[in-house]
Amino acid sequence: MGQVFAQETVNLEMMHRIKNEGMRNSQIQDLSFHLTDFLGPRLSGSTNLRNARNWTAEKFKEWGLSNVKIDTYGEFGRGWDVKKAYIAMKEPYYAQIIGYPKAWTDGTNGLVSDEVMLIEISSDADFDKYRGKLKGKVVMTPANLTVNPAFEAEARRWTDEELENRKTIPVGNMPSRWTPEQMAQMRTARELDAKLNAFLLEEQVGLRLTGTRGSFGTVFHTRSGSFSTDKKVTVPEMEIAAEHYGRIYRLIKNGKKVSIEAEIDVQWLDDDYAGYNVIAEIPGTDRTLKPEIVMLGGHLDSWHAGTGANDNAAGVVVMMEAIRILKALDVQPKRTIRIALWGEEEQGLYGSRGYVQKYVADRATKEKKGEWDKISAYYNLDNGSGKIRGIYLEGNDMLVPIFEKWFEPFHEMGANTITRRSTGSTDHVAFDAVGVPGFQFIQDPIDYGKGYHTNMDVYERMQFGDMTQAAIIIAAMVYNTSERAEKLPRKPW
Amino acid sequence: MGQVFAQETVNLEMMHRIKNEGMRNSQIQDLSFHLTDFLGPRLSGSTNLRNARNWTAEKFKEWGLSNVKIDTYGEFGRGWDVKKAYIAMKEPYYAQIIGYPKAWTDGTNGLVSDEVMLIEISSDADFDKYRGKLKGKVVMTPANLTVNPAFEAEARRWTDEELENRKTIPVGNMPSRWTPEQMAQMRTARELDAKLNAFLLEEQVGLRLTGTRGSFGTVFHTRSGSFSTDKKVTVPEMEIAAEHYGRIYRLIKNGKKVSIEAEIDVQWLDDDYAGYNVIAEIPGTDRTLKPEIVMLGGHLDSWHAGTGANDNAAGVVVMMEAIRILKALDVQPKRTIRIALWGEEEQGLYGSRGYVQKYVADRATKEKKGEWDKISAYYNLDNGSGKIRGIYLEGNDMLVPIFEKWFEPFHEMGANTITRRSTGSTDHVAFDAVGVPGFQFIQDPIDYGKGYHTNMDVYERMQFGDMTQAAIIIAAMVYNTSERAEKLPRKPW
């Protein structure tokens, strides 16, 4: 047993107090209601996200946190709000369609009512078949959407065996998922798709219908338009439920006429192109360690057709609750504790990367900035509302004995897996990329994969019991990091 | 081994030919497309159901079936088509809502745009709080809709053990599901609900929002309005997704203002109140047995927001395919084979009961009519598109050795469970009720329970491989019944 391990101590009385505060005075459910039902979907740049920044900042002030600010990291792009969206089939009979405008798509200028044209492009030559014929038309392109019955449970928790497996790390080169031939085919398809997008725009198509994965009324969604400030106009585009897409597609392929009526009304917001993070602190109290920082956070933005509940109101609520617990306990931390609610994560980690670029380090030039050697750790939550089962160490071997010790008081809550593995796609990578310890926790998946990035990522998806556990553990991790004699050991950068 | 069993013979060459025709020339997928995507939802009395009657009758003629007719059994009621339906939340922010008009609800006379009022009635005294205040308003009533993650698979097939269990029959009185206290509470709640419905109508409410079970965008639905020919006006009512209902409810309960905009436009059909069944035959060829009849069928009508795929386009398609197989094989049956596609099953077995009343027997007076001693058996399919695993005998012990023999050639297709048990709620009970053998098969559930009576009961739910098996087995059962020396043995009536 090495010296590092021997040094680690855990203030068990504080762990006990954190558990009590988290269990007895939990604000999880009320915060969840406000972040989802009340504030609504929080697409980057949208009015709702602006409201969410203000609301969370006010809540931090109400709790007595310090240095609360809505902090810009630079430019993001245009805001976009949906003012109205409607789509239905008119022929061969009237039928409502579940469909949503893709993010940043343009409006239709009123109700469009027209036959649906199926555009089948498999080579460059196919464009000529349609050239000059699509102005104002409703079009759809083929999609291969397979919908199968769910013979396996759609929600689950990690088993002990699966958690144990998450500790193993593959050694050696991973085989490529694709053959060179497959990769060439995919490249060709992508190029053709880009040409198709340009063609539809040039032809001034009135509305494009796209199918999405998901089934039974759940619609996954993305963006088609652009938030770029050059104000490029995009074709109005709606993503519709796989089954409704399939119905229209099959009818047309069988020679039946399909007509639809649809309307998209959007509002562009061009008064402020900046991106923002919401920041608040519990100032450190140790004369020496006070300038050092322990960070926790999650992204405040979401996609637009649900209310961004599991992705990522859940992470925001848990992190807010964690800092609320520490503030309520008046912990007087040695280091400063700082929460950050990131903007624009869904469009490419803008908020966290912008913060890192502004305050921590330049990833490209390796230039270190003021906070680079101040931040001990950044803790992130962004894998839904499932409880914490452990933590990914991003390959940092030196942390194993520390975190093993820190997790001990939470074994009975189901959290005991310390893995050297890395995990991707959340805001912690912005910190890890510049050598500052950044972490995402191992969370039970529940039905995260079924609902995230869909119209059904809403309040009902959130597991409040799980989130209560997560807030307690994160409060503990943040507290331990703030009190530790040294900052957490780092990988070389 | 008794004499009855010894008498049963199966024409294995014909079984082989039926399997071949069903497997090689299956029309299952094309019929399924037409019954769902093309014809659309087929609510009792609707234009789509009229189209479906005509289309299936034409298909029977095309196949060369005899005595094809669209046969009225008497009056059903008013037809009702949805011409437009739209609903969205306007405040605190714009959000699309998944919602459907309840069947036979009235229209809104254009776009309604108003704050949602929560009406909480727990006793007679509560009505006074709202009297005179609801004219033209949008109201909702509390609902207790719990949405949980699906930790168990939502689709499944019967295991061998479960099938074996289906053979057992409980002996003795079943305990009541409810205590007398619970039953009294339920009665009081029902009475209060009836008063509420009358109150809202009297107050001329503009639109009522109701939550439904289902989740993730799947909406179960029912009727609120009436198809009765007294043309009673009903309050416009929409059933909305549980999560969207929950959002509005929680916002109001937390003191936030919610406004919505919605529109329902409906068309009432008052030109024909009759109900109909579609009938077609392969005439019998045996001089003596030709007047006797073997019947097969399923209900053609459905609910209105999906396309009535598993309930019950599936049953219709399988039965159509079964008779197509027999016609294609030119089987020259001894007895007449008659298919019936019933109308108005979802509103209370109108079509099959109407047929029985007209041609078979009067259930109340026990008066026997012309077909009572002619019909050997009626086979029904109405439990989705899952394959056949066996058959319910409705307590008819005498059939065990017969059906055991007839199922033998299909054991390898998964069908080998003959249970004396009864099953309810499908058109076979109309025949069983007057002592004529009527049967529903044991079918694999797949995800029937998740999708039936919902907006998502559509083409994608149908399992074509399963339906192919079912059509083969039913063709065989019908053939065996037509060729048997005697009609099937009956229970006393």
Per-residue pLDDT tens over the stretch B149-207: 999 999 999 999 999 998 888 777 666 788 899 999 999 988 998 899 999 999 999 99
Provide the pLDDT for residue B174.
67
Comparing C-alpha atoms, which of B6, B1, B12 is closest to residue B476?
B12
Structure tokens at A318: 């848990």
493 residues of chain B, pLDDT tens digit each:
444 445 688 999 999 999 999 999 999 999 999 999 999 999 999 999 999 999 999 999 999 999 999 999 999 999 999 999 999 999 999 999 999 999 999 999 999 999 999 999 999 999 999 999 999 999 999 888 889 999 999 999 999 999 999 888 877 766 678 889 999 999 998 899 889 999 999 999 999 999 989 999 999 988 887 899 988 777 999 999 999 999 999 999 999 999 999 999 999 999 999 999 999 999 999 999 999 999 999 999 999 999 999 999 999 999 999 999 999 999 999 999 999 999 999 999 999 999 999 999 999 999 999 999 999 999 999 999 999 999 999 999 999 999 999 999 999 999 999 999 999 889 999 999 999 999 999 999 999 999 999 999 999 999 999 999 999 999 999 999 999 999 999 999 9
| Chain B residue with Cα closest to A306 | B95
Q: Which one of A33, A40, A153 has the shortest CB-CB distance to B152?
A: A153
Query: pLDDT category, A222, cuts 50, 70, 90?
Result: confident
Smallest CA–CA distance, residue B222 to chain A, in Å, is 16
Helices (H), A90-179: 127-130, 160-165
Instruction: Work out the mean pLDDT of chain A and round it to a whole number.
Output: 95
Residues 4-43 of A with CB under 8 A from B: 33, 36-38, 40-41
| Chain A residue with Cα closest to B257 | A38
Burial string for A299-334 (b: 16+ CB within 10 Å, else e) reads bbbbbbbbbbbbbbbbbbbbbbbbbbbbbbbebebb
Q: Which fold has domain B80-147+176-268?
A: Glucose Oxidase; domain 1 (3.50.30)
DSSP state letter for B102: P
Smallest CA–CA distance, residue A156 to chain B, in Å, is 6
User: Across residues A1-15, what is the average pLDDT?
Assistant: 73
Give strand pairing partners of B366.
none
CB contact under 8 A, B96 and A81: no
Pairing of strands B388-392, B417-419: parallel
Asked if residues A360 and A372 have their Cβ atoms less than 8 Å apart, the reply is: yes
Confidence check: pLDDT of A1 > 80:
no
Q: Where are the domains of chain A?
A: 3-76+273-483, 79-146+174-267
pLDDT tens-digit profile of A194-211?
Answer: 899 999 999 999 999 999
Would you say the ipTM is above 0.90?
yes
Query: pLDDT category, A399, cuts 50, 70, 90?
Result: very high
CB contact under 8 A, B456 and A147: no
Smallest CA–CA distance, residue B201 to chain A, in Å, is 26
pLDDT tens-digit profile of B310-362?
Answer: 999 999 999 999 999 999 999 999 999 999 999 999 999 999 999 999 999 99
Smallest CA–CA distance, residue A227 to chain B, in Å, is 20
Comparing C-alpha atoms, which of A176, A207, A168 is closest to residue A88?
A207
Asked if residues B405 and B8 have their Cβ atoms less than 8 Å apart, the reply is: yes
Asked if the domains B3-77+273-483 and B80-147+176-268 are classified in one and the same CATH topology, the answer is no
Asked if residues A151 and A140 have their Cβ atoms less than 8 Å apart, the reply is: no
Provide the pLDDT for residue A170.
74
Asked if residues A462 and A313 have their Cβ atoms less than 8 Å apart, the reply is: yes
Provide the pLDDT for residue A234.
79
Q: Which fold has domain A3-76+273-483?
A: Aminopeptidase (3.40.630)
Confidence check: pLDDT of A91 > 90:
yes
Helices (H), B25-126: 28-33, 47-62
Q: Which one of A98, A151, A460 has the shortest CB-CB distance to B147?
A: A460
Q: What strands lie across the sheet with A207-211, from one edge to the other?
A: A95-96, A79-91, A259-269, A112-118, A138-140, A207-211, A237-240, A99-101
Provide the pLDDT for residue B1.
40
Distances (CA, A) of B204 to A236, B132, B228: 39, 9, 20
The count of other CB atoms within 10 Å of the CB of residue B486 is 11
Residues of B in contact with A216 (CB under 8 A): 216-218, 450-451, 456
C-alpha–C-alpha distance, residues B327 and B488, integer Å: 23
User: Which CATH number describes the domain made up of A79-146+174-267?
Assistant: 3.50.30.30
Q: Which fold has domain B3-77+273-483?
A: Aminopeptidase (3.40.630)
Residues 99-118 of B with CB under 8 A from A: 100
